[in-house]
Structure 1
Amino acid sequence: MEFHVIIFTSYLLLAHAVGVNGFPMDDLISKLPGQPDVHFRQFSGYIDVDDGGFGPSLFYYFVEAEKDPMNQPLTIWLTGGPGCSSVGDGFSSVGPFVTTRNARALEKNLFSWNKVSNLLFIDSPIGCGWSYSNTSSDYNNGDDSTTKILVSFMQKWYGKYPEFKSRDVFLAGSSYAGHFVPNLANALLDHNKQSKDFKFNVKGLALGNPLLRKKLDALAMYDYFHSIGLVNNTVYEQAKKECKTLDENNYSSKFETNWTKPCNDLMENAPFIAFNSSDRGYVISKRFDVQRDPCDMKKLNDLSLGKELTKVSHGADMCAAPRAQFYFNLPEVQKAFHGNRTSLSYSWKGCYSDKFKFNENDKNRDMLPALKRLLQQSVHITIFSGDVDALVPAVGTLQHLYKLAEDLNIKSTKEETWSYENKDGGRKYSFGDLLTFFIVKGGDHHVTFSQPSQALYIFTNFTINRIHNDKQ
């Protein structure tokens, strides 16, 4: 009798740790503080990339699809910066929840991408969100080290979630994810070529306002400012003259390829001229969104006093990200998330923790070769950019894609309007069968935040459903 009890007890302990579908039940989130009731499960925790325990440990947040999760694809979300938390970003963009106006609770995100896919948010590189390392040199991040760690992370994540090994995989993200996502996709495909066992089933990419050619994206800011009348002809022509050393055909990612001092001075001063302000904080905010009024960061203390913090401008709540940061710093939230397992007393930051470092040279890398490799391997790429983004203007991204199409000898290009709910959505550009670019009307640097319904529409119909239709 005692023998049978021991066997049964051992089975219960194993079932609790592993779960019914091979899921790690120790990482199951029972319920986040102030969360509304939902019918999907959430998991979060750490993946130790280094088995010795001295290397990187990446924090993740995994959300099941709303319906039929065991038959839905997996989407990996990486946010940019570099230096911003993907997990935190999920609570003001594509995740299942957004914070209430007092940041003490959550409400459903009506445009969450888990309506059509399982979602995996990864805090990467090291030093973002709750990801950390016991080796100080690991905080010296760069494109290559980030990719290497993410590949190891994914291999171990599938060890925790074996049910997803055969699923279609999509990679998505915004801003500097224009580096992270294509680099990771190529690395996963390179792994497939060498692996005799498990292979990643990479199907497509969805990139929002991606940084692809940093120096030319900075130059495109002038084109954008001039096109909407924020800088006059004199300033514009002067900038074109001083910064003419780079174009789409001679782009060099080498850091030594510097602009002249007059060019650098013009680039530095352009936003202050455009927005007629000497307030650096205000000008930085306006580069992300030239249309909407930014959140008043001076009122952040209102949340600590139990007050509400909100700033709705042209349909978007500009204080969503600061509220998410407040929510993630609540002790009960960190406990429910299984976050900050080192129990260090530091403030959680949505972007740029004190330890975070990144190789400045890597920011200038040309990402067109990475996109080219993916397209040559029949990976679908969908890109969407907001038309009120001055940080990575859509006009610059469009020129990069024309250059990419030229390099790939893609002859079939098409430009047309696109609509959403019988409204003008913006412009759509198709480059062959695999590459599509959307300019989203009213979208800022984070389309998933400023125009979330349009972003979900694009992701559903031109990333997820396109692959499904190709299978039929």
Structure 2
Amino acid sequence: MDNRVFFLGLLLFVFGGVNGFPMNDVIEKLPEQPNVTFRQFSGYIDTDEKAGRSLFYYFVEAEKNPMNLPLTIWLTGGPGCGSVGDGFLSVGPFITTANAHGLQRNPYSWIKVTNLLFIDSPIGAGWSYSNTSSDYEVGDDSTNKDLLTFILQWFEKYPNFKSRDLYLGGSSYAGHFIPNFANALLDYNKQSNSFKFNIKGLTLGNPLLRNKLDTLAVYDFFWSRGMINIDLHQQILKECNGIDEDNYSNNATKWSESCQQAMDKAEMAAFIVSSVNAAKARRFDVLRDPCDEKWEDLVLGKEVTKVSYEVDMCIPFRADFYFNIPEVQKAFHGNRTNLGYQWKGCFEKSGLKYSDVDKDIDMLPALKKILQQSIPITIFSGDQDAIVPTVGSLNHVNKLAKDMKLNLTKDEAWNHENKGGGWMYSYGNLLTYMTVKGANHHVTFSKPSEALFIFTNIVLNRSH
């Protein structure tokens, strides 16, 4: 143990009770991690001891002046992807080295401006688990209840952050998680006579908001990019009609056979492949080829990279490898259930069964409820994403603004580092939608500098 780690431990021992930091959850140092001055913590919080249900978290202090900066909670989507792992390829302090055996600083981490809390949610994502098998059959409501229980207990562990400015952020299916969570916290505030959550803003990346319309928007996107011809696009409009921004319902929609066939044909035509599954795997980023996964190369210590249009597409793959190193799991205080399968950013074998019905829920009412309480919302979307395309998200935002009677106050290009960053639509001081040029479904991964710019200059600045 080096002197710095010993001194940190001594400080925690002496001041742990005073400053409200749990000694047992401190991470002394992750394997092959560069030396840093900020502190890291991780561990489990039981949300139902009787059921044996527990959520895993990773907390990182801001790199400078952490006691005077806000707290941001980050959740990723799936549903079923681990937010903690996502932190190592997006907004967290580190990304893996090229051989995945170590870490390097993330120059665009949000810890430059905020403290960060990542929560593996729902049960079955990341290292969160339950000893009760029925807990793996989850949906929006059960996930939200667990998150509320979690954060109340987390604040008991970290009382200094109770009164801190709080921001909620996430990507993809976090378009459900984050608005639901925000409303749960706001409802708690109404009932509480003492402690209240100090929510200052929400930020959502490529969020799933109206699943059925987001699905149809995929084919509008393909046609607008010249990936399918007008005849195929018109066929989909004809066969898959009946849903628009004004008649959306939460009832699960089963596409007709003719509609599904036209969709499948468009998928394969768009990516010039003979398999629908192969086509859907390319939706994440229509500009770049995916990483050539060679696990054996990483085992041998070789470097695995694939840089395409300035993005290393192998960063997520390398994070998967790093999180499977036993010493890493030990340092994280994670995997206390000793998983019988490899850790993956998005688990396939955890037994998680998420409600398909909940995926079709319209999230605009939840966003409207938040805006009505003067909590600003910023949405940013990568323009190379064909999972939740910008064309659909902009329609949802326009519908939300219309329902809220919010006037469009900005409709202009925005720049970053003397280059075009994308397009910005602002509706007063409450609602902003921004496209991010060249970004895929995961803006914080593919355009991290732009994501940090948006968070710092739009999300944080607007609430002050």
TM range (shorter): over 0.9
Kept after mapping to 1: 8 A contact 2:183/2:369? yes
User: 1:107 aligned to 2:104?
Assistant: yes
Kept after mapping to 1: 8 A contact 2:167/2:201? yes
Cα distance in 2, alignment partners of residues 338 and 17 from structure 1: 22
Aligned to 2:161: 164
SS of 1:429's equivalent? Answer: strand
Aligned to 2:273: 277
User: 1:445 aligned to 2:418?
Assistant: no
User: 1:190 aligned to 2:217?
Assistant: no
Deviation sequence 1:26-68 (CA, Å, 0-9, x none): 100000001001110000000011243x332000000000110
| Deviation of 1:349 (Å) | 1.6
Deviation sequence 1:412-441 (CA, Å, 0-9, x none): 443111000111111100112200000000
Kept after mapping to 1: 8 A contact 2:415/2:421? yes
Deviation sequence 1:191-229 (CA, Å, 0-9, x none): 010111211111100100000001100111111111110
Q: Which of 29, 36, 39 is residue 37 of structure 2 equivalent to?
A: 39
Q: Report the RMSD for the aligned CA atoms in angstroms.
A: 1.5
User: 1:237 aligned to 2:234?
Assistant: yes
Cα distance in 2, alignment partners of residues 218 and 385 from structure 1: 16
Query: Where in structure 2 are the equivalents of 1:9-408 lying within 5 Å?
Result: 15=13, 18-52=16-50, 54-255=51-252, 257-280=253-276, 282-297=278-293, 299-354=294-349, 355-408=351-404
SS of 1:49's equivalent? Answer: strand
SS of 1:348's equivalent? Answer: coil
| Deviation of 1:260 (Å) | 1.8
Kept after mapping to 2: 8 A contact 1:16/1:26? no
SS of 1:30's equivalent? Answer: coil
Q: Which of 405, 412, 432 is residue 409 of structure 1 equivalent to?
A: 405
| Deviation of 1:17 (Å) | 9.7
TM-score (norm 1): 0.94
Query: Where in structure 2 are the equivalents of 1:421-436 lying within 5 Å?
Result: 421-436=417-432
SS of 2:463's equivalent? Answer: helix
Cα distance in 2, alignment partners of residues 13 and 33 from structure 1: 22
Cα distance in 1, alignment partners of residues 339 and 382 from structure 2: 38
| Unaligned segments of structure 2, at least 5 residues | 1-9
Cα distance in 2, alignment partners of residues 259 and 413 from structure 1: 38
Kept after mapping to 2: 8 A contact 1:17/1:26? no
Aligned to 1:4: none
Cα distance in 2, alignment partners of residues 67 and 19 from structure 1: 22
TM-score (norm 2): 0.95
Cα distance in 1, alignment partners of residues 12 and 431 from structure 2: 46
Count of residue correspondences = 454
Kept after mapping to 2: 8 A contact 1:217/1:392? yes
Cα distance in 2, alignment partners of residues 21 and 271 from structure 1: 54
Cα distance in 2, alignment partners of residues 119 and 105 from structure 1: 21
Cα distance in 2, alignment partners of residues 55 and 140 from structure 1: 15
SS of 2:19's equivalent? Answer: coil
Q: Which of 432, 442, 460 is residue 456 of structure 2 equivalent to?
A: 460
| Unaligned segments of structure 1, at least 5 residues | 1-11
Kept after mapping to 2: 8 A contact 1:412/1:431? yes
| Deviation of 1:134 (Å) | 1.1
Cα distance in 2, alignment partners of residues 19 and 341 from structure 1: 26
Q: Which of 396, 408, 414 is residue 418 of structure 1 equivalent to?
A: 414
Among all aligned residue pairs of Structure 1 and Structure 2, give the percentage whose two residues are the same amino acid.
64
SS of 1:114's equivalent? Answer: helix
